[in-house]
Chains A and B, each alone.
Chain A
Amino acid sequence: MSDRYVTLVNTRPGGMLARRVGLPRPVALERYRPGEPVIRGRVLVGGAGGEGVARPLLDALVGALGEAGCELATSVDDERLRAVVAQAGLDATVFNGEAPGEQRFKALVLDASGIADSSELVALHAFFHPTVRRLERCGRVIVLGRPAGECTSVRQQTAQRALEGFTRSLGKELGGGSTVQLVLVGADAHDGMASTLRFLLSPRSAYVSGQVIRLGGGHAGAGGAPEDAGAGQIDWERPYGGRTALVTGASRGIGEAIATTLAREGAHVVGLDVPALSGELQSVSARLGGEALELDITAPEAPALLAERFADGLDVVVHNAGVTRDRTLAKMPRERWSELIDINLSSQERIDDALLAAGALEAGGRIVCVSSMSGIAGNAGQTNYATSKAGVIGRVQALAPVLAERGATINAVAPGFIETRMTSAMPLAIREAGRRMSSLGQGGEPVDVAETIAWLAHPASGAVNGNVVRVCGQNLLGA
Chain B
Amino acid sequence: MSASVRRVAVLGGNRIPFARSNSAYAQASNHDMLVAALDGLIVRYGLDGELLGEVAAGAVLKHPRDRDLTREALLSTRLAPQTPAYDVQQACGTGLEAVILVANKIALGQIDVGIAGGVDTTSDAPLALNESLRKLLMEANRTPDAKGRLRLLTRLRPSQIVPEIPRNVEPRTGLSMGEHCALMAGEWGIARAEQDELAARSHQRMAAAYEQGFFADLLTPYAGLERDQNLRADSTVEKLAKLRPVFGGPDGTMTAGNSTPLSDGASAVLLASEEWARERELPVLAYLTHAQTAAVDHVGAGAGGNGNGPRKREGLLMAPAYAMPRMLDRAGLALGDFDLYEIHEAFAAQVLCTLRAWEDPVFCRERLGREQPLGAIDRERLNVHGGSLAAGHPFAATGGRIVASLAKALRERGSARGVVSVCAAAGQGVVAVLESGGQPA
List A residues at the B interface (Cβ < 8 Å). Answer: 74, 76, 79, 82-83, 85-87, 89-96, 98-103
Q: Is the CB of B248 within 8 A of A101?
A: yes
Q: Which A residues touch B248, using CB under 8 A?
A: 101-102
Q: Which B residues touch A74, using CB under 8 A?
A: 362
10 A–B contacts, CB within 8 A, in A order: A76-B189, A82-B360, A83-B361, A90-B366, A92-B362, A94-B360, A96-B189, A99-B190, A101-B182, A101-B186
CA distance A90 to B187 in the complex (A): 16
Nearest to B249 among chain A residues (CB) is: A102
Q: Is the CB of A86 within 8 A of B191?
A: no
Judged by a CB distance under 8 angstroms, whether B346 is at the interface is no
Q: Is the CB of A99 within 8 A of B361?
A: no
Q: Is the CB of B362 within 8 A of A100?
A: no
Of residues 278 to 319 in B, which have CB atoms within 8 Å of A's CB atoms? 312
Further 15 A-B residue pairs, CB within 8 A, beyond A91-B366, A96-B188, A99-B190: A76-B356, A86-B366, A95-B189, A96-B189, A96-B190, A98-B189, A98-B191, A98-B193, A99-B185, A99-B189, A99-B192, A101-B183, A101-B251, A102-B186, A102-B248
Q: Which A residues touch B249, using CB under 8 A?
A: 102
Nearest to B189 among chain A residues (CB) is: A96
Q: Which B residues touch A100, using CB under 8 A?
A: 186, 189, 251
CA distance A76 to B188 in the complex (A): 7
Of residues 247 to 275 in B, which have CB atoms within 8 Å of A's CB atoms? 248-249, 251-253
Q: Is the CB of B187 within 8 A of A94?
A: yes
Q: Is the CB of A89 within 8 A of B189?
A: no
Q: Which A residues touch B253, using CB under 8 A?
A: 99, 101
Q: Is the CB of B362 within 8 A of A82?
A: yes
Q: Is the CB of B187 within 8 A of A101?
A: yes
Nearest to B192 among chain A residues (CB) is: A99
CA distance A29 to B397 in the complex (A): 56
CA distance A193 to B361 in the complex (A): 25
Q: Which B residues touch A99, using CB under 8 A?
A: 185-186, 189-192, 253
Contact among A86, A92, A95, A102 with B364 in the assembled complex (CB-CB below 8 Å): A86
Q: Which A residues touch B185, using CB under 8 A?
A: 99, 101
Nearest to A99 among chain B residues (CB) is: B191
Q: Which B residues touch A95, using CB under 8 A?
A: 189
Task: State how many angstroms separate the Cβ of B173 from the closest Cβ of chain A.
Answer: 15
List B residues at the A interface (Cβ < 8 Å). Answer: 182-183, 185-193, 248-249, 251-253, 312, 356, 360-362, 364-367
Q: Which A residues touch B186, using CB under 8 A?
A: 99-103
Q: Is the CB of B191 within 8 A of A96?
A: yes
CA distance A92 to B367 in the complex (A): 11
Nearest to B352 among chain A residues (CB) is: A99
Q: Which A residues touch B365, using CB under 8 A?
A: 86, 89
Task: State how many angstroms separate the Cβ of B252 from the closest Cβ of chain A.
Answer: 8
Q: Which A residues touch B356, using CB under 8 A?
A: 76, 94
CA distance A79 to B375 in the complex (A): 12
Nearest to B360 among chain A residues (CB) is: A82
CA distance A265 to B183 in the complex (A): 40
CA distance A99 to B192 in the complex (A): 7
Q: Is the CB of A82 within 8 A of B361?
A: yes
Q: Is the CB of A93 within 8 A of B366?
A: no
CA distance A48 to B322 in the complex (A): 32
Q: Which A residues touch B188, using CB under 8 A?
A: 76, 94, 96
CA distance A100 to B189 in the complex (A): 6
CA distance A100 to B183 in the complex (A): 11
Residue among A79, A96, A99, A102 having the largest count of chain B Cβ atoms under 10 Å: A99
CA distance A93 to B183 in the complex (A): 12
Nearest to B195 among chain A residues (CB) is: A99
Task: State how many angstroms separate the Cβ of A83 from the closest Cβ of chain B.
Answer: 5
CA distance A92 to B364 in the complex (A): 11
Task: State how many angstroms separate the Cβ of A133 from the closest Cβ of chain B.
Answer: 12
Q: Which A residues touch B183, using CB under 8 A?
A: 101-102
CA distance A393 to B64 in the complex (A): 82
Task: State how many angstroms separate the Cβ of B314 from the closest Cβ of chain A.
Answer: 12
Q: Which 3 pairs show the lowest CB-CB distances between chains A and B?
A: A101-B186, A96-B189, A86-B361
Task: State how many angstroms separate the Cβ of B369 from the closest Cβ of chain A.
Answer: 11
Nearest to A84 among chain B residues (CB) is: B361
CA distance A91 to B248 in the complex (A): 24
CA distance A288 to B186 in the complex (A): 48
Q: Which B residues touch A93, using CB under 8 A?
A: 187
Task: State how many angstroms separate the Cβ of A130 from the closest Cβ of chain B.
Answer: 11
Task: State how many angstroms separate the Cβ of A104 from the closest Cβ of chain B.
Answer: 11
Nearest to B361 among chain A residues (CB) is: A86
Task: State how many angstroms separate the Cβ of B414 from the closest Cβ of chain A.
Answer: 36
CA distance A147 to B312 in the complex (A): 39
CA distance A76 to B248 in the complex (A): 19
CA distance A265 to B65 in the complex (A): 68
Residue among A86, A92, A102 having the largest count of chain B Cβ atoms under 10 Å: A86
Q: Is the CB of B191 within 8 A of A91?
A: no
CA distance A383 to B362 in the complex (A): 57
Nearest to B372 among chain A residues (CB) is: A86
Q: Is the CB of A86 within 8 A of B362?
A: yes
Q: Which A residues touch B362, using CB under 8 A?
A: 74, 82, 85-86, 90-92
Residue among B191, B251, B356, B360 having the largest count of chain A Cβ atoms under 10 Å: B360
CA distance A103 to B361 in the complex (A): 21
Task: State how many angstroms separate the Cβ of B102 from the closest Cβ of chain A.
Answer: 39
Contact among A86, A91, A94 with B189 in the assembled complex (CB-CB below 8 Å): A94
Nearest to B182 among chain A residues (CB) is: A101
Task: State how many angstroms separate the Cβ of A190 from the closest Cβ of chain B.
Answer: 22
Residue among B185, B365, B367 having the largest count of chain A Cβ atoms under 10 Å: B365
Nearest to A77 among chain B residues (CB) is: B189
Nearest to A92 among chain B residues (CB) is: B362
Task: State how many angstroms separate the Cβ of A70 from the closest Cβ of chain B.
Answer: 14
Nearest to B252 among chain A residues (CB) is: A101
CA distance A89 to B370 in the complex (A): 11
Q: Which B residues touch A89, using CB under 8 A?
A: 365-366
Q: Which A residues touch B189, using CB under 8 A?
A: 76, 94-96, 98-101
CA distance A128 to B253 in the complex (A): 22
CA distance A87 to B364 in the complex (A): 11
Task: State how many angstroms separate the Cβ of B356 from the closest Cβ of chain A.
Answer: 8
CA distance A99 to B362 in the complex (A): 20
Q: Which B residues touch A102, using CB under 8 A?
A: 183, 186, 248-249
CA distance A92 to B189 in the complex (A): 13
Task: State how many angstroms separate the Cβ of A332 from the closest Cβ of chain B.
Answer: 62
CA distance A92 to B361 in the complex (A): 10
Task: State how many angstroms separate the Cβ of A91 from the closest Cβ of chain B.
Answer: 4
CA distance A206 to B168 in the complex (A): 45
Task: State how many angstroms separate the Cβ of A101 from the closest Cβ of chain B.
Answer: 2
Task: State how many angstroms separate the Cβ of A131 from the closest Cβ of chain B.
Answer: 12
CA distance A87 to B373 in the complex (A): 12
Q: Which B residues touch A90, using CB under 8 A?
A: 362, 366
Task: State how many angstroms separate the Cβ of B170 from the closest Cβ of chain A.
Answer: 18
CA distance A86 to B366 in the complex (A): 7
Q: Which B residues touch A85, using CB under 8 A?
A: 361-362
Q: Which B residues touch A101, using CB under 8 A?
A: 182-183, 185-187, 189, 248, 251-253
Task: State how many angstroms separate the Cβ of B300 from the closest Cβ of chain A.
Answer: 14
